[in-house]
């Protein structure tokens, strides 16, 4: 009997062009991480459940409903990571990364995350994130650098129509004053909230801001504004962040209702949203400061800040907006075609020349009709066909056909690499 098994709901196989988009996103981010002096950290894909339940917050959707939690054969409770920060903090504390002269510790990660959510466009059960954590300083300049780095990633990827939202949700002390007023405002409106939010109202009303029900979010947004309740020190900190962002010429908008969905955030929070996406799934990335989390994990009492970017959503939007992956020369793919087996030697010469020059290329192994080869080249996303026939062999040349405009050029072997790069600039 044949097996007819699909990938699990909310997961997908990634191949072909999608891999090229992801490679481009990851390498663009990696280059920027290097420039900002961040080092990579790889943590396990699963952790003991408390790593997430205690840090992300018991009342969050993630902990309440979305974690892939299971018991191993010894009865230990484990959870597939739903996000990166908690694991990075656990790893930094466990591996004693905090010395006295190395602060802030600056780490980045790229990995798959798992949340049992209702799958829809831009929302998966397994998805990929890249993120950074800078631990050991509460200097507002660091906040601005982190936000600048987030904005730089999207700029380098070729996005233009994005908004960077920034807010401060204060420290634990000044947030208390806000929550008191917020509860007062919400109590008479409790009947209009969803069941989950009615529970949140008593235990953790901030989570109403990121409820999946739009009506609950709206009600929260129309209430008192967190920034008005900031203590003096949080206020000064936030001014430091916005002043530094302005000095760095980073465009941002203050959003007084931005809180973000994790309990561990303090002070600065931020999000980068696309104006081309539906508002339920328009966040491409976001983050914030978490000044109390490291101590909570048994580490030193040390402030920190980080962000995470959704790789799948970013790749999806790049494709929708027609933003290419890679520079022109990185995107180029050449298909070397010859119909004549006697020309194998010349074919290998050209193949070596192109590959040694960093041009991605392939050859045809079976000679079929030229028409069939063009069809195949188009199907496999080649941009240029390099044709080698008797005439080309005799003249030590190559005929290039740009598959976008079908223009054709016969070029000497010596100049062919340069010509390919020139065509690449127009693809």
Binding interface with ligand AMP (CB under 6 A)? 83, 115, 117, 122-124, 127, 129, 261, 283-286, 308, 310, 312-313
Q: Name the minimum Å distance from CB 283 to ligand AMP.
A: 4
Q: Name the minimum Å distance from CB 228 to ligand AMP.
A: 25
Distance of alpha carbon 243 from alpha carbon 231, whole angstroms:
18
Query: Look-up: residue for tokens 């408390």?
Result: 50
Give the pairing type, strands 253-254 and 162-168: parallel
Which of 112/364 has CB closer to ligand AMP? Answer: 112
Distance of CA 161 to the CA centre of its chain: 17
Which of 136/261 has CB closer to ligand AMP? Answer: 261
Which of 83/373 has CB closer to ligand AMP? Answer: 83
Which of 250/283 has CB closer to ligand AMP? Answer: 283
Which of 83/143 has CB closer to ligand AMP? Answer: 83
Return the SS3 of 278: coil
Which of 115/175 has CB closer to ligand AMP? Answer: 115
Residues whose CB is less than 8 angstroms from the CB of residue 169 and which lie 6 or more positions away in sequence, other chains included: 175, 206, 226, 259, 260, 265, 266, 267, 269, 288
Distance of alpha carbon 116 from alpha carbon 72, whole angstroms:
19
Residue 46, CA distances (Å) to 9, 88, 337 in order: 20, 12, 48
Which of 269/388 has CB closer to ligand AMP? Answer: 269
Give Rg (Cα) of the chain: 26
Q: Name the minimum Å distance from CB 277 to ligand AMP.
A: 10
Lookup: tokens for 53: 């339940």
Lookup: tokens for 258: 């931005």
Q: Name the minimum Å distance from CB 128 to ligand AMP.
A: 8
Residues whose CB is less than 8 angstroms from the CB of residue 224 and which lie 6 or more positions away in sequence, other chains included: 178, 181, 182, 185
DSSP one-letter code for 148: H
Query: Could you please report the per-residue DSSP string of 358-378?
Result: T-EEEE-SS---HHHHHHHHH
Q: Name the minimum Å distance from CB 82 to ligand AMP.
A: 8
In 151-208, where do the E strands start and end? Answer: 162-168
Q: 386: exposed, middle or buried (C-beta count within 10 Å: 0-12, 13-18, 19+)?
A: buried
Which of 211/343 has CB closer to ligand AMP? Answer: 211
Which of 262/335 has CB closer to ligand AMP? Answer: 262
Q: Name the minimum Å distance from CB 42 to ligand AMP.
A: 18
Q: Name the minimum Å distance from CB 270 to ligand AMP.
A: 11
Counting runs of H as helices and runs of E as strands, what totals does the chain give?
16, 16
Which of 196/312 has CB closer to ligand AMP? Answer: 312
Q: Name the minimum Å distance from CB 151 to ligand AMP.
A: 14
Which position's Cβ is nearest ligand AMP? Answer: 310
Q: Name the minimum Å distance from CB 417 to ligand AMP.
A: 39
Q: Name the minimum Å distance from CB 263 to ligand AMP.
A: 12
DSSP one-letter code for 62: I
Distance of CA 194 to the CA centre of its chain: 31
């Amino acid at each position: 009997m044949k097996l007819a098994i699909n990938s699990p709901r909310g997961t997908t196989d990634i191949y072909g062009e999608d891999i090229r988009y992801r490679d481009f996103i990851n390498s663009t981010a990696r280059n920027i991480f290097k420039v900002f002096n961040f080092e990579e950290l790889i943590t396990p894909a699963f952790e003991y459940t408390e790593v997430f339940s205690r840090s992300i917050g018991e009342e969050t959707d993630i902990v309440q409903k979305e974690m892939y939690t299971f018991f191993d054969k010894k009865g230990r409770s484990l959870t597939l990571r739903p996000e990166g920060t908690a694991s990075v903090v656990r790893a930094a504390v466990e591996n004693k990364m905090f010395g006295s002269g190395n602060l802030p510790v600056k780490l980045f990660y790229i990995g798959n995350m798992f949340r049992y959510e209702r799958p829809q466009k831009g929302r998966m059960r397994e998805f990929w994130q890249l993120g950074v954590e800078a631990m050991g300083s509460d200097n507002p300049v660091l906040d601005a650098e982190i936000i600048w780095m987030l904005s730089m990633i999207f700029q380098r990827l070729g996005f233009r129509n994005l908004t960077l939202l920034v807010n401060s949700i204060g420290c634990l002390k000044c947030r208390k004053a806000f929550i008191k007023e917020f509860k007062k405002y919400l109590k008479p409106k409790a009947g209009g909230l969803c069941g989950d939010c009615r529970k949140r109202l008593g235990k953790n009303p901030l989570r109403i801001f990121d409820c999946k029900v739009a009506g609950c979010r709206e009600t929260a947004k129309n209430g008192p504004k967190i920034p008005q309740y900031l203590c003096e020190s949080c206020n000064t900190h936030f001014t430091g962040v916005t002043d530094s962002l302005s000095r760095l010429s980073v465009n941002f908008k203050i959003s007084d209702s931005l809180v973000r969905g994790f309990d561990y955030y303090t002070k600065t929070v931020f999000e980068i949203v696309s104006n081309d996406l539906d508002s339920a799934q328009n966040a491409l990335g976001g983050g914030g400061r978490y000044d109390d989390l490291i101590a909570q994990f048994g580490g030193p009492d040390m402030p920190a800040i980080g962000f995470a970017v959704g790789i799948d959503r970013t790749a999806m939007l790049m494709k929708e907006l027609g933003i290419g992956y890679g520079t022109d020369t990185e995107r180029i793919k050449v298909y070397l075609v010859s119909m004549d087996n006697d020309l194998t030697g010349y074919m290998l010469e050209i193949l070596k020349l192109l590959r040694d020059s960093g041009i991605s290329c392939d050859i045809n192994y079976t000679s079929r009709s030229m028409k069939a080869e063009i069809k195949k080249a188009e199907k496999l996303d080649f941009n240029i066909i390099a044709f080698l026939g008797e005439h080309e062999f005799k003249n030590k040349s190559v005929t290039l056909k740009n598959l976008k405009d079908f223009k054709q050029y016969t070029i000497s072997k010596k100049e062919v690499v340069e010509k390919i790069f020139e065509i690449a600039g127009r693809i």
